[in-house]
Structure 1
Amino acid sequence: MIKNLLILLVLATTISCKTDKKDNSKLNIVTTTTMITDLVKNIGGDYINIEGLMGSGVDPHLYKASEGDVTKLVNADIIFYNGLHLEGKLVDVFEKMKSKSPIALAEEIDKSTLIGSEYFGSNFDPHVWFNIEYYKQFVKKVTAVLSEKDPKNSVNYTENKTQYLKKLEELQNKVISLIETLPNEKRILVTAHDAFNYFGKSYGFQVVGLQGLSTATEAGVQDVQKLAAFIIDNNVKAIFVESSVPRRTIEALQAAVNSKGHEVKIGGTLYSDALGNAGTVEGTYIGMFEYNVNTIVNALK
């Protein structure tokens, strides 16, 4: 509570004495999740300054703004975030920054196509980036916003959009080809929390998460035992750790399954709420998506 009050005080103070831009010839952009940061970099290229608040392995469900984050947000020309209550603990900060008009990219999606969820204030599952078609909508929105704010570079943004959409189309085709090698009856994806429902809906997987949709909820003993029984009944061969969720939750599930005389392996670590380390293939949206699919398919075959 005290920390929140301090951040709001910093917010009020910083708004009244905004600092100069790093480079007056470029837009200053602030993003929240690594997925959005990567997207904006692909569209903005060298024509923008960008700062992402969250890094690799950071859980956006639990992320709290620091005083430094507030300063970055205040000095931004544009703020892009996921929305649908993914960044739940940043809501108060965004509410105080209405004059900045932070842009929730997921709000562009037709709500009738979203997966419902009682765990979030939006009443929808916010992990929409696991539907590549939704991510393409993000790309188009970001391009439109950058072009409006910086019309002199609109041609460059549009060219970058065209190239990136082509790469996403290639990714989609590659993903479909990989998944087609996995029989339908083996398409059961058990992970630490339900971040992959849109992935499952797109590619025909039954997705089961130990902690539900939000990592803010804790899995109890009954949850572990119930899921262990499901794994045995469905002869699931592998379960998966997530990069932004403690490994112990899945290890506890594995132990519960093994104690009942059924062997289940940990099939690998999936990137869910954050990309991999910057500078690696998995540190990009396209690299992350392809890595996840390869990991899932290879473990479940």
Structure 2
Amino acid sequence: MSNIYVISGFLGSGKTEIIKYILTNYLNPEDSIVLNNELTNTSIDTDYLSTTKSKVMEVNNGCFCCDYKEKFNEAIDELSNRYKAKNIILETSGVDLLSNTALDLKKFKNLKSKLITVINISNFESLLENYGVFYIDQLKNAEYLLLVQTDKDKNNMDDVIEVLTLMNKSAKIITNPFEENSLNEIFVDGNINSLIEEEHSKHSCNPNIPLLYTDFIHIERVDFKNTLSRDFIKSIDKFFFDLNQDYLIDLPRCKGIIELEDKNYIFDYIPGKIKLTQTNKNGNYLNVVCSALEKNKVINFFEKSFYC
């Protein structure tokens, strides 16, 4: 019998950080496998999570809940039966329908599961307004709602909790997931008490939502021909900031590996923040996930650049 923890949450919510914290503080990494679902054709999270000594497997270039249903089922079956993994952590794509994932998991009688959604309260209202169908589905179908960035936006936290309580009365809301013992109820000893079919019977699984993430979101891979400069990194930051101001949408999300001043860095951008981490991996590209409304502006910005 395997435990599966589904970590959902919109793009840039902090899912990977939460998973690393779980593997470091709650689960035995050697008994755990992470299945990472990435919208783009490459993932930069594998190295980051591999530092926990947990095995990380990737399914890239699409979403489990709509693009890769068959591959998802095969992967879960292989992890639980062939690898005999005690704990499976599924990191969703960020634009998944959690109800669909819950429905797919009901096919596996040898799994026990928990559905968890990570919420960055700083952009909660914006995501609710602009990506309602996907975001509400992630919120309504979770058993646990983990709120992050609460220390930086305490004034907004009460309002977010009020909305979440009305939306999902049965979910447990955790406002301090990085505090010691705050996740004991979910992860102590890696045990899950209730069987998967019992857990999901109360959730509003709806596999017939007639929308796909591609109706709202555009993915653009940008390959650079030249080593980047610090000034260009600043211009990317300003461009994304201005884009969000123009459309009032908390995208884009941007990841990749870049060459900067003769060194390689993992580039990770969420609205308002660029994180650069030195790496031994080679590459000079970015995967930009943006609103479909922003598509042409994003393409034009990079096409005009000296570096492309």
- Normalising by structure 1, what TM-score? 0.34
Higher fraction of helix: 1
Higher fraction of strand: 2
- Normalising by structure 2, what TM-score? 0.34
Which of structures 1 and 2 has the bigger CA Rg? 1
